[in-house]
Amino acid sequence: MFQTREGDMAKFPEKWMTSIRLAADGIETLRRSDVYRVLGDTSSPEEAHEMGAEIIKARPDLKDEVEEILEDEFPIPKRQESQDFTP
């Protein structure tokens, strides 16, 4: 089983612990197969990316899975450059 660094659980943001605990006993037992479900509990692509960054900090072994899911399922729309329509 993956060992988290000491204190990782204490540092993981409480606002996402409910989602983590629905999928696993805690961040230290989160499986690759749980990552999509956990990220899907967020309310926006931006929040999914924020949560994903926290998962990666606590569980570097899940980095590839988190990044792949974020890229495929939770893209952040790029801001369109404003165009000058002056006549």
Give the model confidence (pLDDT) of 47-69 as tens digits. 999 999 999 999 999 999 999 99
Whether 60 is covered by a domain: the verdict is yes
Is residue 25 in some structural domain?
Answer: yes
Spatial distance between the Cα atoms of 24 and 44, rounded to a whole number of angstroms:
22
Percent of the chain with pLDDT over 70: 78
- 54 DSSP assignment: H
Q: Name the residue range of residue 20's domain.
A: 8-73
Tally of structural domains, the chain: 1
Please report whether residue 84 resides in a domain.
Answer: no
Kindly list the distances between the CA atom of residue 74 and the CA atoms of 4, 41, 44, 49, in Å, as whole numbers in the listed order. Answer: 26, 12, 8, 8
CB atoms within 10 A of CB 62: 20
Whether 66 is covered by a domain: the verdict is: yes
pLDDT at 4 over 80: no
Residue 2 maps to a domain: no
pTM across the whole model: 0.76
Q: Output DSSP code: residue 25.
A: S
